[in-house]
Amino acid sequence: MSHITSISLDPEAAELAQRMKREGKNFSRFVRECLFVYYSEEQTECTDNAPWVIHGCGSPDVRLCRPSRRYPCRRCWPKGIPHQQDWKAARAHIGQVSRKRADKYFSVEETSLIPELCFRDEKSVLWFDEELKVIDWLKKQAADRNQFIMPLADLELKGNAKSKAVKTEKPRKGILKRILSELGR
């Protein structure tokens, strides 16, 4: 259920909001995203009841929910969700690492590894990063993809835009037009 509210914009911001609408972008979604970004550090619970649990590396398990465009979890994805290809690449890479850890004779499919997280040494031995590095990579990809150009922490958010807004007077209708518009109801 949505909650409708109004905001006061100065003339410059109003023009930008109109431009955003003309470009087919959703102004309400933009405002919601700004609010979520501003308060992203406060969300402590994951919104997914069946998260992806990553075991391994002798470290505590990492829990990440499946990134969703519709209901993004701000705890797991504070900077926004990763691209679907990056999500699939991370899962495939971690799957290969987990299988290799479980079976030392398992032949790792190099095509399932993230190129930036693996290499072959001079003896042609394949080396690849483990789970935590992959999660760091995935979160960096998400942050790069969802860069927010406005540093919200530095904004001066006190005051009310109404004080700077310029009121425009509506042109008054003549008596005949007012009577005709009333009859048309």
User: What is the per-residue pLDDT for 137?
Assistant: 94
Q: Say what the pLDDT of residue 74 is.
A: 74
**Banded pLDDT at 150 (limits 50, 70, 90):** low
pLDDT at 41 over 70: no
Residue ranges covered by each domain of the chain:
8-38, 45-153
C-alpha–C-alpha distance, residues 156 and 101, integer Å: 51
Calculate the dihedral angle through the C-alpha atoms of 60, 66, 71, 73, rounding to the nearest 10 degrees. 20
> Looking at residue 43, what is its pLDDT?
63
Please determine, for residue 122, whether its predicted confidence score (pLDDT) is greater than 70: yes
Do 79 and 139 form a contact (C-beta atoms < 8 A)?
yes
Whether the CB-CB separation of 134 and 114 falls below 8 Å is answered with: yes
Flag whether pLDDT at 148 surpasses 60. Answer: yes
Q: How far apart are CA 63 and CA 80, in angstroms?
A: 16
Q: Which long-range contacts (CB under 8 A, 24 or more apart) does 159-166 make?
A: 160/8, 161/7, 161/8, 161/9, 161/10, 161/13, 162/8, 164/10, 165/8, 165/9, 165/10, 165/11, 166/10, 166/11
